[in-house]
Amino acid sequence: MHELTLAERALGIVEKTAREAGAQRVTRIRLSIGALAHVDPDTMQYCCEVVSRDSLAEGAQIEVTRAPGLAWCSTCQAEVALAQVGEPCPACGGYQLKITDGDQMQVVDISIE
């Protein structure tokens, strides 16, 4: 379950940012996970809740949103939406796709007190 490692890294970013801002606690964390990132949003949310115990973010509301997957099709020369890696171009059926977005995860923002 690589989501646990990703949650630990995300929490590290959150805690560092909160401490630098002089926060007493983190009340909300927003994460964006790309549709092509091979990360399950529900599992990620659960892992974030687990790793936030005994931290500045314990009890924080955790919101996980899904960013769409995008790819450039060299066959039809178009940027197309993809739901998963390995599927053909929805416009032409070709497989000459280069992922351009939706394969990353990021901490979008945090709310602190």
Could you tell me the CATH number of the domain that includes residue 21? 3.30.2320.50
pLDDT confidence of residue 85: 92
* Structural domain that includes position 107: 2-68+102-112
pLDDT at 98: 97
Model confidence at 1, pLDDT cuts 50, 70, 90, reads low
pLDDT tens-digit profile of 21-78?
A: 999 999 999 999 999 999 999 999 999 999 999 999 999 999 999 999 999 999 999 9
What total number of domains does the chain contain?
1
The answer to the question of residue 97 being in a domain is: no
Return d(Cα 40, Cα 33) in angstroms, integer.
9
Token pair belonging to 98: 């280069």
Say if 56 falls within a structural domain: yes
Closest C-alpha among 35, 85, 38, 36 to residue 65: 35
The average pLDDT across 12-29 equals 97
Answer for the pair 96, 79: CB distance below 8 angstroms, yes or no. no
Residue 75, classed as helix, strand or coil, is coil
Is 16 contained in some domain? yes
Residue 83 lies in a domain: no
